[in-house]
Structure 1
Amino acid sequence: MRGLRYSLTSSDGSLTGRHPLQDLLKGFVLASIFYEPSTRTSSSFEAAMYRLGGKVVSISDVKSSSVSKGETLEDTVRTLQSYCDILVLRHPEVGAAIKAAKVLKIPLLNAGDGAGEHPTQALLDAYTIRSELGRLGNLRVALAGDLRHGRTVHSLARLLDLFEVRMDFVSPDTLSMPESVLNDLISDDYEIHRTLETVLDKADVIYMTRIQKERFDDLKHYEEVQNSFCISPELMNLAKPKMIVMHPLPRVTEIDPRFDADPRAAYFRQMENGLFVRMALLAMTLGKA
């Protein structure tokens, strides 16, 4: 994937912006359908397609589509596969990507299904860990914040379980990692914690997540846990000098902006990696890698 970042050039050798533009996917069209708000995932998928020479049909406001008329998800994706070669879908319903894939004849990439999964985020997260620390195995990774609703940590925990990674799950009691995720783990090499201080001096990676206000039925319950954790320069004095802090973003109050200048703050580098990983995914899925 690092090769995608530095080596891809268009047929005439031209570059666009800071990154090379390729024509690997010239003639291909991506359908980008987002039923939920997105900045990084939607933008990086679209930018990835453009940088590989493809085109994008984007539906980011379903209220302006036939969904507002009552069209089902299945009929929406059936329609778009008539015009496009690959589809990226974000949907608020857990399992929506599987439901859509069952009626499609073109590839579908899951860009997040409610509080379920976010597999492409897990891939860019794993790539970031390897890029920053030089390995994926023999690490201790703390996943912290809203583990109940956080689709990013659900996917990442399942992926890291395939490597020699010891995991710490840090959350308020009401926002613990779901049993469905824990039951999927092959290894039982994990611990459950309620405070960051208990894992900071051991962690090679702290993966922070925001408390997801939009997933709470009762705002009172959200207010009880919204400020459970905060990465600050003072707190990070307890951490290893060589480790990284990651975050899928957006952040709210769980990382103090004063920490941004710390070399261990990897979340903006992580965000940029999303472009390169999704370029690779698009190219491989369409058989052009």
Structure 2
Amino acid sequence: MLKIDGNFKNKHILSVEQFSKSDIKLLFTETDSMKKLVVTKGGNNKLQHRIMTALFYEPSSRTFSSYIAAMERLGGGIIPIHGIENSSVKKGETLEDTVRVFSSYSDIIVIRHPETGLVARAAKSSQVPVINAGDGAGEHPTQALLDLYTISSHFSLHKEVTITMVGDLKYGRTIHSLSKLLSLFSKVNIIYVSPATLKVPKKILDYIKETKISFNEITDFNEAISQADVLYMTRIQKERFRNIASYNKVKNSYILNIKRLEKAKKKMIIMHPLPRINEITPGVDDDPRAVYFTESVANGMYLRMALLKLALTK
């Protein structure tokens, strides 16, 4: 897997492990430019005559639409394939063969797939850059990058900051990717809060241990809220459970409501990768510290615009 090393052009984006702090700075600077572009002009034609294929084999509304909006705001074209039933995979075609075909039609391919590691495997068959839009319980690089962008707009990552991650930490690919990114910043402290059956995988903990950043695993939600500069809530992912009984045992483990927020810092932010089920009550949405609708969604489009531009033009 190639490191970015200051040059995004024609490189697959499969894991946050490809990024250094200087790569992140470059991407975020371009993201700032895309935000300004959209706010002032709505977009441009920088990617005119470029085609992006979006192959999504798992349900998605935000990420799928975000990539489409990003490409269209830069003047590019789209080949949208949403759902296995709308592709030749239903006939038995492998993802590798599908990628071979669509890399002949397009300049870049964005893939979401339910099987961990399959996007990286399929990328080996592509003639054009492939972006991982989520591979099972593996990674979700652009979600983690947009989350880091949102965090960095509120807190300096070069000063002490506590990021509290709550919910499904076992299957939550956004948690896995964001943890790896945060481990680049030595003054970050991570607090993990989850049911015993949904703890952070050992391989993720081993990864961040090597970087020597501070982290802790606890179960006391109220304690975690009081310490958080960033409270990162996630849903319990029903689709990852093999039986409904196991899901029902943990689905209501951690629910953030207005009462619980009384224990939170005045200058903190509440984040969520979405979709939200019941882990944040609707009353919290109006709290000025809640940024999952007001900032994160738009930041995702700006960052993906930046990534597409860097991958295809520089």
Residue in 1 aligned with 2:73? 51
Alpha carbons 1:26, 1:54 under 8 Å: kept? yes
Residue in 1 aligned with 2:248? 223
2:181 aligned with 1:159: yes
* Aligned mates of 2:92, 2:212 — CA distance in 1: 44
Pairs within 5 Å for 1:85-164: 85-135=107-157, 137-163=159-185, 164=187
* Between structures 1 and 2, the one with greater helix share: 2
| Aligned amino acid, residue 173 of structure 1 | A
Residue in 1 aligned with 2:92? 70
Superposition deviation, residue 188 in structure 1: 4.9
Q: Provide the TM-score with structure 2 as the length reference.
A: 0.87
* Aligned mates of 1:249, 1:200 — CA distance in 2: 19
Q: Provide the TM-score with structure 1 as the length reference.
A: 0.94
2:259 aligned with 1:237: no
Superposition deviation, residue 234 in structure 1: 0.5
1:187 alignment partner, one of 212, 222, 231: 212
Superposition deviation, residue 45 in structure 1: 0.4
1:5 alignment partner, one of 25, 35, 41: 35
Superposition deviation, residue 133 in structure 1: 3.0
SS at the partner of 1:200?
A: helix
Residue in 2 aligned with 1:281? 307
* Aligned mates of 1:91, 1:99 — CA distance in 2: 11
* Aligned mates of 2:134, 2:71 — CA distance in 1: 18
Superposition deviation, residue 261 in structure 1: 0.7
* Aligned mates of 1:138, 1:89 — CA distance in 2: 35
Residue in 2 aligned with 1:263? 288
Higher RCO structure, 1 or 2 (CA under 8 Å, sep 6+): 2
1:79 alignment partner, one of 95, 101, 114: 101
Structure 1 residues 142-199: Cα deviation after superposition (integer angstroms, max 9, x where no partner): 1110000100000000000101210001000000000011111122510001121122
Question: What is the RMSD of the two structures over their aligned residues, measured on CA atoms?
Answer: 1.4
| Aligned amino acid, residue 33 of structure 2 | G
Superposition deviation, residue 64 in structure 1: 2.4
* Aligned mates of 2:172, 2:158 — CA distance in 1: 21
* Aligned mates of 1:191, 1:134 — CA distance in 2: 21
* Aligned mates of 1:96, 1:263 — CA distance in 2: 39
SS at the partner of 1:116?
A: coil
Residue in 1 aligned with 2:197? 174
SS at the partner of 1:78?
A: helix
Alpha carbons 1:171, 1:195 under 8 Å: kept? no
Alpha carbons 1:148, 1:178 under 8 Å: kept? yes
| Aligned amino acid, residue 96 of structure 1 | L
Task: Go from structure 1 to structure 2 and tell me whether the alpha carbon gap of 1:61 and 1:51 turns closer, same or farther (over 3 Å shift).
Answer: same
Return 5+ residue gaps in structure 2 as ranges. Answer: 1-30
* Aligned mates of 2:84, 2:126 — CA distance in 1: 19
